[in-house]
Amino acid sequence: MSPAVQRVDCPAVLEPGAATWSNALLIGREVVMSGMTAHPASRETTLDCYAQTLVVLGKIQALVEAAGGHVGNIFRLTVYLTDIADKEHVSRARRDFFAGQALFPTSTLVAVSALVFPELRVEIEASARLDVDLRTVTEVNDV
């Protein structure tokens, strides 16, 4: 039997009316998210890569919370950067955002030539499981 699938409704991260995608789906106990950017905040003010990354991680957190979870449920990030030199800013933002957790989410970082709007420097896709809590993992078994 297939797991239940629900679109995650999050007032803090609205989907455009004509969107041909879902920002997040709850599939069983897993939250799968589309790539998030700092838009529209990035259009309202100039944000450096560190600030954009924090905006994006905040959107991801809001989507996970709307699905019934918390930041510790986020286990996977795929980061797209328009300038690979910004990787240290992204790393600092991740350290600050996930500070205090026992484990950090897994992550892939990829350099791309452009994102949907020219001022965007970072886009992040994320996955979370509502039955996992990286904030409180006490034992890690090596495989």
Query: For residue 125, which amino acid is it?
Result: E
- Number of Cβ within 10 Å of residue 130's Cβ equals 16
Joined tokens for residue 68: 């019934």
Q: How far, in Å, CA of 14 to CA of 17, rounded?
A: 9
Q: What pLDDT, on the 0 to 100 scale, is given for residue 139?
A: 66
Whether residue 25 contacts residue 5, with contact meaning beta carbons closer than 8 Å, is answered with yes
Q: What pLDDT, on the 0 to 100 scale, is given for residue 44?
A: 79
pLDDT < 50 positions in the chain: none
Per residue in 56-82, pLDDT (tens digit) is 999 999 999 999 999 999 999 999 999
Strand order in 5-7's β-sheet?
5-7, 24-27, 30-33, 122-129, 74-81, 106-111
Long-range contacts of range 136-141, CB-CB < 8 Å, 24 or more positions apart? 136/72, 136/102, 137/102, 137/103, 138/102, 140/103
Ordered domains of the chain (ranges, CATH) = 5-129 (3.30.1330.40)
- Determine whether 89 is exposed, middle or buried from the number of CB atoms within 10 Å of its CB (0-12, 13-18, 19+): buried
Q: What pLDDT, on the 0 to 100 scale, is given for residue 142?
A: 65
